[in-house]
Structure 1
Amino acid sequence: MEQVQIRDESITLGQVLKLHGVADNGAMAKEMIAAGDVTVNGETDTRRGRRLGPGDVVAVDAAGVEFEVTTSR
């Protein structure tokens, strides 16, 4: 499984989609999340501002992408 490293203790769902590269910008991330294409730990989440931390698993069905959030510490 791919991993996305973050520097802080948490990151928002919209930010992590951009950091991973599955979303080119915030508007694209917002559309994917609102459409219900994004799951966090196996459950659909439509909150762009949801806080994610190490161990959370994000999947984007439309892009066929799944990754785990980790810290770089």
Structure 2
Amino acid sequence: MKNIEIYEQPIALYQLLKLEALVSSGGEAKAVIDDSRVLVNGAVETRRRKKVMSGDVIEFEDQQFKVVLK
């Protein structure tokens, strides 16, 4: 599991995907969230602006990422 470091919390889910370059644009981030391809703490998340906090686990494309506050 890879760590994603954020400098302030909360951060919107779509912004986190874009920040970590898991998608190429904000529009693509919103599309993959709308398509139920992103899990937050083991549950499918369809809210684009879901507030992600330190300690949350994001799953996308068979990869897991733990969010940590820097």
TM-score (norm 1): 0.91
Instruction: Structure 2: state its 5+ residue gaps.
Output: none
Matches within 5 A, 1:15-54: 15-54=15-54
Seq. identity, %: 34
Q: Please say if 1:70 is aligned against 2:68.
A: yes
Using the TM superposition, give the Cα deviation of residue 65 of structure 1 relative to its aligned residue in structure 2, in angstroms.
Answer: 2.0
* Structure with greater helix percent: 1
TM-score (norm 2): 0.94
Using the TM superposition, give the Cα deviation of residue 37 of structure 1 relative to its aligned residue in structure 2, in angstroms.
Answer: 0.3
The Cα RMSD (Å) is 0.8
Q: How many residues align?
A: 70
Letter in 2 for 1:18: K
Using the TM superposition, give the Cα deviation of residue 42 of structure 1 relative to its aligned residue in structure 2, in angstroms.
Answer: 0.2
User: Following TM superposition, where does structure 1 have runs of at least 4 consecutive aligned residues deviating by more than 2 angstroms?
Assistant: none
